[in-house]
C-alpha cells in the first residue's frame, strides 16, 4: 500500500513538474534556472524510489522527504509567479541580433587573450606545473604506461582537492578552482557567441583553442563533472539566443553524455580486465548509475542515519561549517561528505567523499520542516532573481553573465545556498574586470584622434 501511495504521489508531482516546465518554455525551449533545478530534482528521485521499490531500504520516508522538497520548491515558484504577475509567455529579451553591435573582433580577442593568460597563471599556480590530466592523455595517445598515468591523476586529484582537510597544505582549493572555472568558460562563451555570429575560420580556431584550454585547466585533476557543467553554461547561452527545439536539446545532452563516458576511461578503476566490450559495458553502467543514483543515494543514507540516531541533527551547525569552509584558506571542519563515508565505513581509512545534494545538507541541519521551508523560499527567490536578470542589457558580456548566474541558480539543488554565494564572488570579480577592460578600450579609442588620409596631388590639375 505504501509503495502504491509513493508511486501515485510521484506521478502527481511529476505532472506538476511537467506543467511548470511547459510554463517556463511556452515561448521556446530555454534553460532557465527553474528548468535546470527541476531537472536535477527529478533525477534525484530515482535513487530513493529505486531503493525502496527493490527493498534495499525498509521505509519510504527518505523518498517522501526528497519529494516534499521538490513540492515545496514548486509551491514557492508558483507563489512568485502570482506575486510578480508574470504572463505565460517567457520574456526572452536576448538574441544574437541584439548582441551584434557589441561584437567587435579586436576588443573581444584582447579580452579572450587576457582571460587565457589569467587561466594560464592560475593553472600553473594551482597545479604547480602541467595538470595531471595532460599526462593521462599523453599516456592514452602514446599507449605507453597509461595505467600509471591514470593512477597519477587519481592521487593528484586527492592531493589537490582534499589535502587541506587532512593536515595537508592549502593550495588555493576552492578559490582558485572557481576562478579557473569562470575565466575558462567566460572566454569560451564569448568565443562561441562570436563564432555563431561571424561563422568564419578565425573564430572557429579561437573557439577550439579556448575549448582545449578550458578542458586542460578545469578538468586538470580528472574531475570530469566540472568541465561538463561548464559546457552547460554554453548551452544556456544558445537557448537564450536561439529558438531551439527538443531535438537540439537532446543532441546537446547526448554529446555531454559521450564526453562523460570518454572522460570516465581516464579513471584508474576501469582497467581492461577481460575484454574491451566488457570494460565499455562497465563504464556505461557506471555512468548511468552516477547520473541517476549518484549523490541522491547519499541523501538517503543521511536521512536513515539521522532517523536511527547514528547522526544527530545539527541545528545550523552544518550551515556554519559549509560557510566557514567556503572562505579562502579556512579549514573549519571536514566536509559532511567525508563524515558520511566514515559513518558507513568506520574501519576504512580512505579520504573518500560521499557527497549529498542540498536536500541531505538541509535535512541533517533542520530535518523535514527545514527542507520544506528552505526549498519553498528557494523556489520563490530563484524566480524573482531570474526576472531581474532578464532586465539586464543584452550586451555580449551581459549575456555571458546571465548564463553563469542561471547555471549557478539552477545548481543550488546540488551546491546549496553557500555554494551559490561562493561561486558568485569569482564571477562578479571576473565580469566587472572584463567590463572595465572593455570600457577602458572604448575610452582610449575615443581619445585617439583619427587622422584623415592626405589627398594625393593630381598631376592633371
Give the domain ranges of the chain.
Answer: 96-292
Distance CA 337, CA 342 (A): 9
pLDDT at 73: 95
Question: Is the backbone of residue 200 left (phi > 0), alpha (psi -120 to 50) or beta?
Answer: beta
Q: C-alpha cell of 163?
A: 589535502
Distances (CA, A) of 61 to 5, 236, 444: 12, 35, 64
- Residues whose CB is less than 8 angstroms from the CB of residue 223 and which lie 6 or more positions away in sequence, other chains included: 157, 161
Three-state DSSP at 244 gives strand
pLDDT at 80: 92
pLDDT at 148: 60
Q: Count the alpha carbons within 13 Å of 333 in the hemisphere toward its beta carbon.
A: 13
Q: C-alpha cell of 161?
A: 582537492
pLDDT at 457: 44
pLDDT at 199: 81
Report pLDDT digits (tens) over 3-36: 788 888 888 899 998 888 888 876 667 888 998 9
pLDDT at 381: 93
Distances (CA, A) of 234 to 42, 195, 421: 22, 12, 21
Give the mean pLDDT per block of 10 residues along the chain (461 residues): 80 89 76 89 84 81 90 94 67 48 70 92 83 70 59 59 58 78 92 84 90 86 77 86 75 76 59 58 66 76 87 85 75 76 75 78 91 94 88 79 92 88 92 88 67 44 33
pLDDT at 327: 74
pLDDT at 430: 93
pLDDT at 288: 66
Q: Which residue has the cell 589537490?
A: 160
pLDDT at 266: 58
Q: C-alpha cell of 149?
A: 598515468
201-218 helix and 175-198 helix, angle to the nearest 10 degrees? 160
Amino acid at each position: 500500500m505504501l509503495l502504491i501511495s509513493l508511486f501515485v504521489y510521484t506521478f502527481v508531482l511529476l505532472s506538476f513538474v511537467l506543467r511548470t516546465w511547459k510554463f517556463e518554455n511556452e515561448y521556446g525551449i530555454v534553460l532557465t534556472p527553474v528548468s535546470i533545478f527541476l531537472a536535477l530534482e527529478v533525477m534525484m528521485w530515482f535513487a530513493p524510489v529505486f531503493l525502496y521499490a527493490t527493498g534495499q531500504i525498509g521505509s519510504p520516508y527518505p523518498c517522501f522527504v526528497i519529494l516534499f522538497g521538490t513540492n515545496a520548491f514548486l509551491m514557492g515558484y508558483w507563489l512568485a509567479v502570482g506575486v510578480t504577475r508574470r504572463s505565460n509567455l517567457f520574456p526572452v529579451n536576448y538574441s544574437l541580433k541584439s548582441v551584434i553591435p557589441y561584437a567587435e573582433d579586436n576588443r573581444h580577442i584582447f579580452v579572450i587573450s587576457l582571460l587565457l593568460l589569467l587561466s594560464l597563471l592560475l593553472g600553473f599556480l594551482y597545479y604547480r606545473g602541467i595538470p595531471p590530466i595532460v599526462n593521462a592523455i599523453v599516456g592514452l595517445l602514446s599507449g605507453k604506461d597509461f595505467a600509471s598515468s591514470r593512477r597519477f591523476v587519481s592521487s593528484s586529484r586527492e592531493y589537490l582537492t582534499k589535502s587541506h582537510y587532512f593536515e595537508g597544505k592549502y593550495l588555493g582549493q576552492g578559490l582558485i578552482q572557481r576562478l579557473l572555472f569562470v575565466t575558462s568558460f567566460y572566454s569560451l562563451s564569448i568565443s562561441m557567441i562570436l563564432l555563431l555570429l561571424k561563422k568564419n575560420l578565425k573564430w572557429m580556431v579561437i573557439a577550439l583553442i579556448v575549448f582545449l584550454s578550458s578542458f586542460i585547466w578545469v578538468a586538470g585533476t580528472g574531475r570530469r563533472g566540472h568541465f561538463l557543467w561548464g559546457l552547460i553554461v554554453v548551452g544556456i547561452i544558445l537557448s537564450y539566443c536561439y529558438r531551439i527545439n527538443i531535438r537540439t536539446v537532446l543532441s546537446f545532452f547526448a554529446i555531454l553524455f559521450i564526453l562523460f563516458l570518454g572522460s570516465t576511461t581516464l579513471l584508474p578503476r576501469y582497467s581492461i580486465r577481460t575484454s574491451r566490450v566488457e570494460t565499455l559495458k562497465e563504464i556505461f553502467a557506471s555512468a548511468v548509475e552516477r547520473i541517476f543514483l549518484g549523490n541522491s543515494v547519499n541523501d538517503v543514507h543521511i536521512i536513515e542515519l539521522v532517523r536511527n540516531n547514528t547522526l544527530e541533527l545539527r541545528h545550523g551547525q552544518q550551515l556554519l561549517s559549509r560557510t566557514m569552509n567556503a572562505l579562502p584558506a579556512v579549514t573549519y571542519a571536514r566536509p559532511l561528505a567525508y563524515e558520511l563515508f566514515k559513518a558507513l565505513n568506520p574501519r576504512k581509512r580512505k579520504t573518500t567523499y560521499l557527497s549529498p545534494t542540498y536536500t541531505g545538507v538541509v535535512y541533517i541541519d533542520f530535518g523535514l520542516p527545514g527542507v520544506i521551508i528552505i526549498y519553498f523560499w528557494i523556489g520563490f527567490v530563484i524566480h524573482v532573481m531570474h526576472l531581474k536578470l532578464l532586465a539586464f542589457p543584452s550586451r555580449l558580456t551581459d549575456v555571458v553573465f546571465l548564463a553563469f548566474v542561471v547555471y549557478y541558480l539552477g545548481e543550488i539543488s546540488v551546491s546549496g545556498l553557500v555554494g551559490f554565494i561562493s561561486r558568485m564572488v569569482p564571477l562578479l570579480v571576473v565580469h566587472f574586470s572584463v567590463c572595465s577592460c572593455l570600457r577602458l578600450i572604448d575610452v582610449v579609442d575615443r581619445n585617439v584622434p583619427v587622422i584623415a588620409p592626405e589627398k594625393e596631388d593630381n598631376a592633371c590639375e
